[in-house]
């Protein structure tokens, strides 16, 4: 999903410039992860996608680790969005 968002938004994701922020060697990897999990980045991603796909992204992001994604439903939603553009 993130790859699709990245490609649709001119190779940009909200956390794409973290390498600059964490150049200082005093930061640890856990600091990087904590920053990435900040809700502001998720909100930015939601703003970057069409309104009609936000439900799908929400469903994907709220899956439990052991839960199987609803692949058929996701493909159906993406196909519907593609057909709207044609």
Residue spans per domain, the chain: 1-49, 52-86
In terms of phi and psi (left: phi > 0; alpha: psi -120 to 50; beta: otherwise), the region of 13 is: beta
Residue 25, pLDDT score:
67
Question: What would the pLDDT profile of 2-45 be if each residue is shown by its tens digit?
Answer: 898 999 899 988 888 777 776 766 777 777 778 778 888 889 99
* Reported pTM: 0.71
Q: What is the dihedral of CA 12, 54, 36, 39, to 10 degrees?
A: 130
d(CA 38, CA 27): 16
């Amino acid at each position: 999903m993130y790859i699709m968002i990245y490609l649709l938004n001119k190779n940009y994701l909200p956390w794409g410039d973290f390498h600059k922020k964490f150049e200082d060697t005093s930061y640890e990897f856990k600091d990087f992860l904590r920053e990435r999990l900040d809700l502001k980045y998720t909100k930015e991603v939601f703003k970057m996608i069409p309104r009609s796909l936000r439900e799908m992204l929400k469903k994907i992001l709220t899956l439990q680790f052991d839960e199987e994604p609803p692949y058929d439903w996701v493909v159906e939603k993406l196909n519907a969005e593609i057909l709207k553009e044609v």
